[in-house]
Amino acid sequence: MAWTLSTSGACIIKAGTNANSAITASGAALSKWSDEAEGTLNALTRKDWVADYASIKANFKPALDDAVSDIIAIRIINYDMSGYTSRLEAQTMLDVIKDNLNRNLDALKDQKNQEKMF
């Protein structure tokens, strides 16, 4: 299931240049977080996006990528905040990502939106 809805690169970019390099280079950790994030998105939206991925219209796939990469970027930042210039910088990044994630989750939970995606 790992990396069906997003890529490790998208997650690392969102975590920023000050993200811990050991975790951003860890294929195993990022892959596990990908599985967890995709499962979380499926559960929160009550839709199996991974199983239905091939049927989703191309213009809607980036919304799934955005949501999953947000979830993983939050975990990357939270893993080790010491590389950021301050705790405030890391927290601001987390807040911006979480706001974006919440906006995406609201749209992806909406049955009317889901119907248009296929």
Percent with pLDDT over 90 in the chain: 98
Within a domain: 100: yes
Q: Using CA atoms, how far apart are residues 17 and 101, in angstroms rounded to an integer?
A: 20
Within a domain: 3: no
Q: What are the tokens at 106?
A: 């609201």
Within a domain: 95: yes
Q: What are the tokens at 10?
A: 């998208």
Q: Using CA atoms, how far apart are residues 108 and 40, in angstroms rounded to an integer?
A: 12
Per the structure, the complete domain to which residue 44 belongs is given by 8-116
pLDDT at 1 over 90: no
- For residue range 29-51, list pLDDT tens digits in order: 999 999 999 999 999 999 999 99
- For residue range 82-101, list pLDDT tens digits in order: 999 999 999 999 999 999 99
